[in-house]
Amino acid sequence: MLLRMCVSRCLLCVGVSLFPMAIICMLSNMLLLFPELDIHFLLEGHVTREATWATGLWGSGFLVLMGARAFVQSSRTKGCCAFRSQMLSQVLYSCMSLLASGCCCLVSATGLTQGPLCLYNLSNGTAMWGVPLRPLSERQLGYLYNRTLWSGVCLQPRAVVQWNVVLFSVMGVSSALQTILCTANILNALLGLILGQGFCHNKVWKLLHSLSYVNTVLT
């Protein structure tokens, strides 16, 4: 099965697949910066910390797009030496994209677990900005398992819990898929670096046919 796999086609498939995922991560992170689609929360510093780190923009977004573009371009490379040099660069691009998407996935999971920054009431009735849904201990399940907290704790921004849950989940799943594809592409690029461009089924079959013919002549 391994010998039937074509490095160039795999590069193209990974590159094309990464493009929409990167766009999804960028859009999700941009929306996280504007709860209620209002800019004043961002200007006043009332946006969830993990959203302001913008890993969906520079990590799973821009850096992964750079890697995806390089994968698509390398899939058209001709010639053995040129192909192997491209495969070496693709290993580096894949590692960069893997680190970027992995960082975004980790930050998304953290933002999802900790809960949003919002205005909420203290026990004495005083309103303040903070992260009221953050788990207080390892034994506490957190707000994700108690949906009654989604609309009963945060006063502003409105529906910020649902907003963060949906967008951090989308960004986390997309970046997780990116890490899987980038990991597979590292193996693919290393395989191409070692074996060269033409180890598709047809070329392997021609090689086996030639060896069979030589063996027949010798015997």
**Predicted pLDDT of residue 42:** 95
141 occurs within a structural domain: no
* Domain extent for 83: 2-131+149-218
199 occurs within a structural domain: yes
Share of the chain above pLDDT 70, in %: 79
Extract the residue ranges of the chain whose pLDDT is less than 50: 1-5, 139, 199-209, 211, 213-215
Please enumerate, as own/partner, the contacts of 212-217 that have beta carbons within 8 Å and a separation of 24 or more: none
Q: What is the pLDDT of residues 99-117, one digit of tens each?
A: 999 999 999 999 999 999 9
138 occurs within a structural domain: no
76 occurs within a structural domain: yes
137 occurs within a structural domain: no
136 occurs within a structural domain: no
**Predicted pLDDT of residue 199:** 47
**Predicted pLDDT of residue 57:** 97
142 occurs within a structural domain: no
139 occurs within a structural domain: no
**Predicted pLDDT of residue 30:** 97
**Predicted pLDDT of residue 23:** 97
**Predicted pLDDT of residue 99:** 97
**Predicted pLDDT of residue 203:** 47
**Predicted pLDDT of residue 85:** 76
Q: Cα–Cα–Cα angle for 4, 206, 189, nearest 5°? A: 35
Q: What domain count does the chain have?
A: 1
**pTM of the shown model:** 0.81
